[in-house]
Amino acid sequence: MAAASLLAMRYGRVSPSLIRQCVCSMNATRMLATQPDVSAQGELRRTCLYDFHVQHGGKMVPFAGWEMPVHYKTSISEEHFQVRNSVGIFDVSHMLKTHVLGKDRFEFMERLVVGDIKGLKENTGTLTVFTNEKGGIEDDLIVSHVSGDYLYVVSNAGCIDKDWANMTAMAEKLKQEGKDVELKHNKHALIAVQGPLMSKVLQPLLNFDLAALPFMSTHVGSVCEVKDCRVTRCGYTGEDGVEITIPQGFAMGVLDRLLSSKVADVKMIGLGARDSLRLEAGLCLYGNDIDETTTPVEASLTWLIGKARRARADFPGAKIILEQIASKPKRRRVGFLSTGPPARSGTDIYDESGSKVIGKITSGCPSPSLKKNVAMGYVERDFGKNGTDVKFEIRKKMYDAQVAKMPFVMSKYYIPK
């Protein structure tokens, strides 16, 4: 890309470091493709920020088919507190980012998810789930109603192939019915900037007022003088934060600007701290805490099912899910505080006497913030009340635990009064 000056003209006042990133980019201006990149079978995928992670000391590990940093030059615990106390940045470019276009885009989305997508106001979004005909969760995702002519959908990296196949199959079905819908894969980089000082660090680098962007709302503007960046106020840590899509060739330069902030300490954060942060916030990890065998009701996610959707009962698995809402499921996801070693996924949960298995742990870790062990898992309905005493079997020994309210650490999402 020799014409760096033309890019500078297009994106306004761009620093030399940003232009260098453009020159090194394979294609900085290409935003959309008809399908996501697929690596050779068995080969780990890499985000456009892979080299950046290596240069900054990221310890790269396999994750959901991708090569991602588990932590950088500091410990996972230090990275955890970096986000809780200041600002941390995560590379989440491996997530599937899809634009759904066409006048029937709302009907398309509601044929796949439980959320009230038609009821979304412009430039707002919602967490929702893909479900199957048995009521099981195929994936969790965020859908935003973008002012203009498309929906912006972000779903999990580990489900890229499955989600894309399901969406393209539904799009083809609607087209055969004479409907107007089209899917395009957004190839921008995606970073999550999270922490209590996020707004102070980011605001000087934006061309719009971040205070006008409440939790689960979205806006396209300039970040570090780079145009066409989408800023969505959301995250996976429980802290105030945003996720920013950036044209690939400018992503490293934007990160350099953020990391060199004079307003507050800003650091890159890996998957290790991401897991402990989301668990403290009581948030599910797909494949651990929710999957194709769990329904939204069992997963304590009934609130995702909009009133209008319940009335229409027109989402996949509606009969089973609505029956569970009416009669209560046999099991449900709850949180735990425990003694002894931390409980991990697969740990058996017993009743207080230790004589009966009543469920299993799906996620668990020592909480850096609370200095206690936290976990979540599924138990029989009669044992799901907060304060219920239970026991965990860990390495053939029993340890005391108690059902506890989630989130374990209070969430700090930005919702103006």
Q: Can you say how many angstroms the Cα of residue 68 is from the centroid of all Cα atoms in its chain?
A: 15
Residue 243 in marked binding region: yes
Number of residues in the chain: 417
Residue 118 makes CB contacts below 8 A (sequence gap 6+) with 106, 110, 308
Q: How far separated are the first and last CA of the chain, in Å rounded? A: 47
Neighbour tally for 348: CB within 10 Å: 16
Integer Cα distance of 182 and 105 in angstroms = 8
At a CB cut-off of 8 Å and minimum separation 6, what does 55 contact? none
Nearest to 242 by CA among 221, 264, 272: 221
Which residues does 122 contact at the CB level (< 8 Å), separation at least 6? 145, 146, 147
Place of tokens 């953020």: 258
Q: Is the peptide bond before 407 cis (omega within 30 degrees of 0)?
A: yes
Q: Residue-wise over 57-86: b if at least 16 C-beta within 10 A, else e?
A: ebebeebbbbbbbbbbebebeebbbbbbeb
Bridge pairing between strands 397-404 and 389-394: antiparallel
Distances (CA, A) of 205 to 82, 89, 222, 239: 21, 15, 8, 20
Q: Which residues pair with 400 in a beta bridge?
A: 391
Measured CA to CA in angstroms, residue 384 lies from 258, 331, 405 at distances of: 43, 8, 10
CA–CA separation, 137 vs 305, rounded Å? 13
3-state DSSP: the chain helix, strand, coil percent, rounded to 5?
A: 25, 30, 40
Q: What angle do CA 231, 235, 237 make, to 5 degrees?
A: 150
Binding residues for substrate: 243
Binding residues: 243
